[in-house]
Amino acid sequence: MVTSRDWSVYVHVPFCEVRCPYCHFACFVNQDPDFPLRYVRAVERELDFHSGRLDSARIVSLYFGGGTPTALSAPARKELCRWLGEELRPRFAPEAEFTLEANPESLDPRVLDDWLEAGLNRLSIGIQTMHPKVLEFLGRRSTPASNLRALDLACQRVDNVSADLIVASPLDDWTGLLRSIDAITSHPVSHISAYLLEIHADTRFGREVAQGLWQPSPNDQQADLYLRLVQELADRGFHAYELSNFAQPGRESRHNGRYWTRDPYLGLGPSAHSFDGAHRWWNHRDAHRWCESVEAGTLPVEGREHLDRRAVRRERILLGLRRDEGIPEAWVEDRSRLVDDYLRAGLLERVGPRLRATPEGWLLLDEVVLRLCD
C-alpha cells in the first residue's frame, strides 16, 4: 500500500442534460429529483473508505469531470461544495489545482460562485467548436453566442481557463477550425484540449456510421487538420505538451499530467478509475449500482488489476510518448532498428538521451507504440 505521498482525486459526475451522440463516457439523463443529493452523499462516503490511504497524504489536484458537473441540482451542488470546503480543502497541498468541467450553457454566475467558494481555481469549458453547423451536428445545445458568453464569464472569474475543442468532424475544415481558435485565443484562455473526433461503436455516431448514414472525415484530412492545428497553436503561444493538449508556459494541466506520469490518483463516483502505483481499479459504471454499493458500505469496485513488470513497461512507453517530454531512449534500446526507422521517417526525434514523438509521430502513435512495446 502506498501512503504518505501526493495524491490526485478525480470525481466523476454522471449527470447530463442530454446525451451527446459521440460520447461514450458513463453518464445519463437523470429523472429522479432526489438522486443527485444521494449521489453527493455517496461520493462523500466513498472518500471515507479511503481515509486510511489519504490521512497522511496531500491532495495535489482535484478534478470534477463527467458527465456535466455544472448540471448538478442546486441542493446537490450546495452540499457538495460545503463538503469540499470543510472536508477536502484542508487536505490540499499548497497551490493544489482544482478543476471543474463545464458546459457553456449550464455555466451560471451563481453556480460558479459556489464552486469558487469551495476552492475551484481552474475551469475547463466544452466549447467544442464555434461553427454553428458543427455544434448542431455534434448534438451540442450551445451556440456560438453562448460559447462566447461562457468564455467571457469564465475568464472574468477564473484565472486559469481551458477550452475543449473537437477537431475533424465531417463538417469541419481549416477555416472553421481557425474561427474557433480565434474566438478562444481572443480571450485570456491559457489551455486548449483539442481532440480528433473518435467514433465509438456504442454511441449514436457509432451506430450511424455502421449503418452507412455518414462517414468520418478521411484520415488524411484529419492528419492535415491536426498538423496545421499544432503549428497554429504553437504560433499563438500554446505548445503541445501532450498530443491533444496545448498550454501557455506553466499552464499545463497538473491533474491530467499525473495520469501520464503514473502518479497515484483516487477516482470517486461511477466508472472512476484509481491507481496507487502498483494496482489499477475501477468503479461500477452504472450510477445506481455504484451508489447502492457505497450505501451498503462496500467498495463499489468492479474490477482491479495488479501490474506486472511488462504491463508497467508498456504503460510507461504508451503514456510517455504521448507527452512532449517523451521517454528515455534506454527504455526501447532493444528496438533500436525500429527506432532508427522512425527517426528517419520523422516520426520520432531525439532530444538528448530522450526520444519524443513529432506531431507526425503523434498521429501514428498507436502504430508506433504497438511496435516499440515488447
Partner 1 sequence: MSIDPSKVRNFCIVAHIDHGKSTLADRLLERAGTVALRDMRAQLLDSMDLEQERGITIKSHPVRLDYEASDGQEYVFHLIDTPGHVDFHHEVSRSLAACEGALLVVDAAQGIEAQTLNNLYLALEHDLEILPVLNKIDLPSARPDEVTHEIVDLIGCDESEVVRVSAKTGEGIDELLEAIVRLVPPPKPHRDKPLRAIVFDSVFDAYRGTIAYVRVVDGIIRTGDRIRMMGGGQIHDVMEVGFFRLSQIKTESIEAGQVGYVATGAKSVAAVQMGDTITSDAHPAEEPVLGYVEAKPMVFSGFYPIDTDDYVDLKEALEKLQLNDAALTFEPETSVALGFGFRCGFLGLLHLEIVQERLEREFDLELIATLPNVEYHAVLQDGTEVKVENPSKMPDPSELSSVHEPFVTVSVITPKEYVGGMMTLTIERRGAQTGMEYMDTDRVKVDFEMPLSELVVDYFDKIKSVSRGYASLDYELLGYRESDLVKLDILLNGEPVDALSVIVHRSTSYEWGRDLCRKLKELLPRQMFEVSIQAAIGGRVIARTNVKALRKNVTAKCYGGDVSRKRKLLEKQKEGKRRMKSVGSVEIPQEAFFAVLKVER
Helices 174-185 & 219-235 angle (0-180, nearest 10): 30
Nearer to partner 1, 18 or 369 (CB): 369
Distances (CA, A) of 39 to 35, 106, 115, 170, 268: 6, 19, 17, 37, 11
> Interaction with partner 1 in 237-276: which residues (CB under 8 A)?
243-244, 256, 259-260, 265, 267, 272-275
* Spacing of C-alpha 241 from chain mean position: 14
Nearer to partner 1, 148 or 368 (CB): 368
Q: Is 14 in the site for partner 1 (CB under 8 A)?
A: no
- Outline where DSSP puts E strands in 44-175: 58-66, 92-102, 122-128, 160-167
Between CA 317 and CA 254 the distance in angstroms is 20
Biggest CA–CA distance in the chain, Å, is 60
Which region, judged by CB under 8 A, interacts with partner 1, from 142-150, 206-214, 231-239, 311-319?
A: 311-319
**List 6, 18, 19, 25, residue binding partner 1 (CB under 8 A):** 25
Q: Is 311 in the site for partner 1 (CB under 8 A)?
A: yes
Nearer to partner 1, 32 or 202 (CB): 202
Nearer to partner 1, 9 or 148 (CB): 9
Between CA 191 and CA 194 the distance in angstroms is 10
Nearer to partner 1, 238 or 260 (CB): 260
Q: Is 341 in the site for partner 1 (CB under 8 A)?
A: yes
95 φψ region: left (φ > 0), alpha (ψ -120 to 50), beta (else) = left
The CA-CA-CA angle for residues 322, 327, 330, to 5°, reads 150
Which residues in this chain contact partner 1 in the complex, by CB under 8 A?
10, 12, 25, 65, 195-198, 219-220, 222-223, 226, 243-244, 256, 259-260, 265, 267, 272-275, 280, 282, 305, 311, 314-315, 318-319, 322, 341-342, 345, 347, 360, 362-371, 373
